[in-house]
Amino acid sequence: MFNVQGPFMKLWFFMKNRRIVLLHAIRNKGQTIPARELNIARERMRDWRKRTEP
């Protein structure tokens, strides 16, 4: 899982084969990432893998 940060935006995504899957994005003005937001991204990645992998 990758994290890309801009001045006010944080994106979480991962790559599978030739696909890029965006998991979660937030507007955040602080330095720290709320644990709740990171957990959302992790849960979405688990859900996506569960639905797409045999």
Tens of pLDDT along 15-25?
888 888 888 88
For 8-17, the pLDDT digits (tens) are 678 888 888 8
* Confidence band of 38 (pLDDT split at 50, 70, 90): confident
Q: Which of 18, 25, 22, 11 is nearest to 45 (CA)?
A: 22
Q: How many domains does the chain have?
A: 1
Using the predicted structure, report yes or no on whether residue 29 has a pLDDT greater than 80. Answer: no
For the chain, list the strands marked E by DSSP.
2-5, 9-16, 19-27
pLDDT of the residue at 43:
92
pLDDT band at 50 (very low <50, low <70, confident <90, very high): very high
CA–chain centroid gap for 2, Å, is 7
Phi/psi-derived region of residue 13, left when phi > 0, alpha when psi is between -120 and 50, beta in every other case? beta
